[in-house]
Amino acid sequence: MNLALKDIRHNLSRFSLTALGIGMLLMIVMGMGGIYQGLIQEATLLVDNIGADLWVVQRETRGPFAEISRIPRNLEDRLKSMPGVVSARAFVTYPVQREFRDKPLRMQIQGLSWPDDRGAWLPLVAGRRIESAHYEMIVDQILGLGLGDKVKLGKNVYTVVGITKNMSSMAGDGLAFFTLLDALDIQYDYSGEAIRIEREARRWRVAKQDIGATLPSLLERALLPSSNLAALPTPYVSAVLVTLFPGTNVNTVVEKISGWTDVTVFTRDQQNELLLRGVVDRARRQLGLFRSLLIVISTIIMALIIYTLTLEKIHDIAMLKLIGARNSVILGLILQQALLLGFLGYIFAFYVGKWVFPMFPRRVVINADDLIYLAMIVFVISILSAGLGIWKALSVEPNEVVS
């Protein structure tokens, strides 16, 4: 006869509620670990998926995900001429928030260097990649948009042609992919009045100079769109992504680009390291600390529960000792119940978590390694929490049965 199971059957409802409570606590521990892993994946998502070997950014900056980076788009041509370079693609990223169907729509816009980059590397779950130079977009399903939906951004309307999954920014916003020209149009969109005022100010600045008096035709040219004025630079991009030929010595290329005074270059691993040790470092450490605290709290709570269950069985334990039961029998009674509580709580946390975690606003990633790690933690917690109950049980005197 198994005394632990017999005692559980005798107090089944209370034991079940206790296992349920422990399961809820373990589910929070599991969820915190999943949010921790999700944060890391979101931080390195684009760097890992976009497939570039080098990230060329503005001098003295740490890349488009850490801070603002502005470099001229024609840097593409300079990089394409380097030995060992297969391709160089301009890249733009920035967040926007708009209203869509009377609800806030916040997204992280990514500009793809179309037609070289049509988004073929994106994990599409519906639709297609970008096939037109303008007015098409691919969005993540977290944004709640469907194929064919039309979103007004700036002065133009863009149609959703593809939907991705698990593509979100470090802030948890869904990613939206446009051609580079469309992304720049959205970023540098100004109202008609703002454009008119800027052109008038430009004309006034020319008129105040000697060249404006000697060449009156420049006054009229100053009123033209910026794209028609050769003296004004084209819009800047956030980075240029470089892909190298297989077998190319990355360090050699990095050394040559590092000699340029207007840019900084990072390898893929360096960009990931900057993200993990810079942009999301504090959030990672805070989540890790909070998870550790939850594990300690879980141990304390389980220990108190086992201790309380042991106190309720003091009379029974004294009776067992009086009839000559060995200490190992009493130890097994308490330890088996503690392990069973931990096991049932873990199973509850796993299956309920699989149903609940997808509803979270941030991604929760539960991988096999984390599940094994948590199972080991639960096993250790169960043994440690049983220690207090075992100590109390072994200190019971047989004569307490008659008290």
The two tokens of residue 239 are 């980075």
Q: Quick one: pLDDT at residue 210?
A: 60
CB–CB of 51/116 below 8 Å? no
Q: Tell me the per-residue pLDDT of 81-107, one tens digit each, with 9 for 90 and over.
A: 888 888 888 888 888 888 888 888 899
Please, what's the b/e burial string for 102-117 (b: 16 or more CB within 10 A of its CB; e: otherwise)?
Answer: eeebebbbbbbbbeeb
The residues that bridge with 112 in the sheet, in sequence order, are 179
Q: Cα–Cα distance between 66 and 306 in angstroms, integer?
A: 48
Q: Quick one: pLDDT at residue 1?
A: 42
CB–CB of 64/93 below 8 Å? yes
Q: Which long-range contacts (CB under 8 A, 24 or more apart) does 72-76 make?
A: 72/233, 72/234, 72/236, 72/237, 73/180, 73/234, 73/235, 73/236, 73/237, 74/234, 75/240, 75/263, 76/113, 76/240
Q: Cα–Cα distance between 250 and 62 in angstroms, integer?
A: 19
The residues that bridge with 108 in the sheet, in sequence order, are 95, 175
Q: Quick one: pLDDT at residue 378?
A: 85
State the pairing for strand pair 103-112/174-179.
Answer: parallel
Q: Quick one: pLDDT at residue 402?
A: 53
Q: Quick one: pLDDT at residue 140?
A: 92
Q: Quick one: pLDDT at residue 217?
A: 60
Please, what's the b/e burial string for 263-295 (b: 16 or more CB within 10 A of its CB; e: otherwise)?
Answer: bbbbbbebbbebbeeebbeeebeebeeebeebb
Q: What are the φ/ψ torsions at residue 334 (nearest 5 degrees)?
A: -75, -45
Give me the residues of the chain with pLDDT under 70, please: 1-11, 190-192, 194-195, 198-234, 279, 311, 313-325, 327, 330, 392-393, 396-403
What DSSP state is assigned to residue 403? -
The two tokens of residue 51 are 């497939």
- Where in the chain are the domains? 3-42+281-402, 60-187+236-261, 189-234
CB–CB of 277/53 below 8 Å? no
The two tokens of residue 310 are 């042991």
Nearest Cα neighbor of 93 from 53, 150, 60, 45 is 45
Please name the residues in contact with 111: beta carbons below 8 A apart, sequence gap of 6 or more: 90, 91, 92, 93, 178, 179, 180, 182, 183, 184, 237, 238
Q: Which amino acid is at 351?
A: Y
